[in-house]
Amino acid sequence: MEIHDDVVAAIGNTPLVRLRRLHPPGNLVAKLEYLNPGGSSKDRIALAMIERAERLGLLRPGGTIVEPTSGNTGVGLAMVAALKGYRLVAVMADKQSKEKQDLLRAYGAEVVVCPTDVAPEDPRSYYSVADRLTREIPGAYRPDQYSNPANPQAQYETTGPEIWRQTDGEIGIFVAGIGTGGTITGVGRYLKERNPEVMVVGVDPEGSIYTAESDEDVHTYLTEGVGEDFWPETFDPEIVDRYEQVTDAEAFAMTRRLVREEGLLVGGSGGMAIEGALRVAREFPDELVVVVVPDSGRNYLGKIFDDDWMREQGLLDEEA
């Protein structure tokens, strides 16, 4: 019988889907990570980070987990915490969607919201607040997805082998948005070990530090869950062969296009990644291009899929 013992056993083995309507040649393929039980690729690292903490004695039974999150890691942690009996305090920036906050609360997490437009070292930032709460709450543990080696390692051990197996080793180009850098680092490293000729492409929102030419080019942006204003320890830039920078307008236009043309309700980071991947697929028509779609559009119904919100941001193409 194919019956999982619990929900975390269902994490992984997400499908690959050709995006033929978007790109008729058929060499562009999406890995639908939003079909994980918690709704995103972050389920993989949430389980890995908690299991590592348990092995090392950093997290005791009934303990508290504190994590700064754009939402998806928090949901993954909340799902695992509910199963294992831990308390979760998720610290989020105020640009994250209300749907994400509500989802975390539905899992039983406590949500602390902080301002977006402050530097990481500012005591009001969600990084700093998470640090403070970890110090103040007795027995609290912060997984810290930005420095935890279990983050890229989980992707190396699971997502990378899945893609290699699913493509029969024929993948030529791997594309992923960069947030903590765990996915592109772990998967990219695995694929390059199997075939050094695999090209790894990082897609980054305009305003993020990864593709900024100077400090003045680093600014806030609306696409959630990708880009940063600092360099995380979990990101190895040596793995990346090239970058594609995508604006909020381009990312959200692609996000809305995907649901109309491919029936895929994806989040803004997925739209961003596919916008970058489409450029690469057109440039390299003979290569199989695999792009990671991190989460679902259900988290963004009040934003990207809301015409009024898009219009307020000056991002709605009235002719589309």
What span, in angstroms and rounded, lies between the C-alpha atoms of 193 and 189? Answer: 6
Query: Cα torsion at 211, 246, 193, 168 (round to 10°)?
Result: 180
Residue 42 annotated to the active site = yes
What pTM, to 2 d.p., does this model score?
0.94
Does residue 98 carry a pLDDT above 90?
no
Residue 317 — pLDDT band, cuts 50, 70, 90? Answer: confident
The SS3 call for residue 263 is: coil
Pairing of strands 87-93, 64-68: parallel
pLDDT in tens, 13-71: 999 999 999 999 999 999 999 999 999 999 999 999 999 999 999 999 999 999 998 78
What span, in angstroms and rounded, lies between the C-alpha atoms of 66 and 291? Answer: 30
Inter-residue contact 123 to 161 (CB < 8 Å): no
Looking at residue 319, its pLDDT comes to: 60
Q: Which CATH architecture has domain 7-35+154-310?
A: 3-Layer(aba) Sandwich (3.40)
Kind and range of the H or E element at 203? strand 199-205
Looking at residue 121, its pLDDT comes to: 86
Inter-residue contact 289 to 277 (CB < 8 Å): yes
φ/ψ of 99, rounded to 5, equals -60, -40
Among the listed residues 195, 153, 145, the one whose alpha carbon sits nearest the alpha carbon of residue 174:
195
> Can you spell out the DSSP letters for 29-53?
EEEEGGGSTTSBTHHHHHHHHHHHH
User: What average pLDDT does the structure give for the chain?
Assistant: 95
- The Cα-based distances of 206 to 88, 127, 195, 297 in angstroms read 32, 21, 31, 21
What span, in angstroms and rounded, lies between the C-alpha atoms of 73 and 245? Answer: 23
pLDDT in tens, 226-262: 998 889 999 999 999 999 999 999 999 999 999 999 9
CATH 3.40.50.1100 location in the chain: 7-35+154-310, 42-141
| CATH code for the domain defined by 42-141 | 3.40.50.1100
Looking at residue 99, its pLDDT comes to: 86
Looking at residue 39, its pLDDT comes to: 96
Inter-residue contact 252 to 271 (CB < 8 Å): yes
DSSP at 48: H
Inter-residue contact 187 to 273 (CB < 8 Å): no
Query: Of 31, 42, 84, 100, which residue is the catalytic one?
Result: 42
Residue 320 — pLDDT band, cuts 50, 70, 90? Answer: low
